[in-house]
Amino acid sequence: MSKIAAVAGLAVLMAACGDKSAETPAVDTTVAAAPAPAPAGATHDVNMIMEGTTYKFVPAELSIKVGDQVVFHNVSGGPHNVAFWADSIPAGGKEVVDPQLKDQIAPLSSALLVDPNSSLTISFAGAPVGDYRFTCTPHMAMGMHGKITVQ
């Protein structure tokens, strides 16, 4: 009989404490996997140079993919800049390119790269496909023009 009383006493004690699992929310201890980083686009270099009396972008024409970036390098004959023609880029292109051109000398026109080996990087992440025609403002009359085709 004492065993039955002990078991009954434990049952009463457990009932008095109650089942707390319904009151306490479960805590999820699993760690969510971090999203995979977006694949980085390729980097393309364009040199701004003067050879003899010729000013040019090398290469003058470049095909890239959406998400790639282009780094313009002032190699020789500066100052140089990159100025996109508003009527020669796809619709929506200005909204991607223009905010990246710090200290602009005009809309869609970068600051002058005065120092040798200075550079300007433009990302085409989210850029509409199409041709982006550009020039170097100080050397426009000398035929320093280029074109980036975003595919």
Domain assignment of residue 114, yes or no: yes
Token readout for 23 is 């009151």
Domain assignment of residue 18, yes or no: no
- How many angstroms separate the CA atoms of 109 and 120, rounded? 11
- How many angstroms separate the CA atoms of 94 and 108, rounded? 7
C-beta neighbour count of 117 within 10 angstroms: 10
Token readout for 90 is 């796809």
Strand partners, 44: 70
Q: Which CATH number characterizes residue 56's domain?
A: 2.60.40.420
Structural domain harbouring 112: 43-150
Contact 111, 79 (CB under 8 A): no
Domain assignment of residue 60, yes or no: yes
Whole-Å CA distances, 76 to 8, 55, 57, 87, 148: 96, 9, 11, 29, 21
Instruction: List per-residue pLDDT tens for the chain, 151 residues long.
Output: 444 444 444 444 444 444 444 454 454 444 444 444 445 689 999 999 999 999 999 999 999 999 999 999 999 999 999 999 999 999 999 999 999 998 999 999 999 999 999 999 999 999 999 999 999 999 999 999 999 999 9
Give phi and psi for 44, each to the nearest 5.
Answer: -120, 140
Domain assignment of residue 30, yes or no: no
- How many angstroms separate the CA atoms of 83 and 60, rounded? 14
Is the overall model pTM greater than 0.75, yes or no? no
Number of domains in the chain: 1
pLDDT at position 125: 96
Token readout for 47 is 């040199």
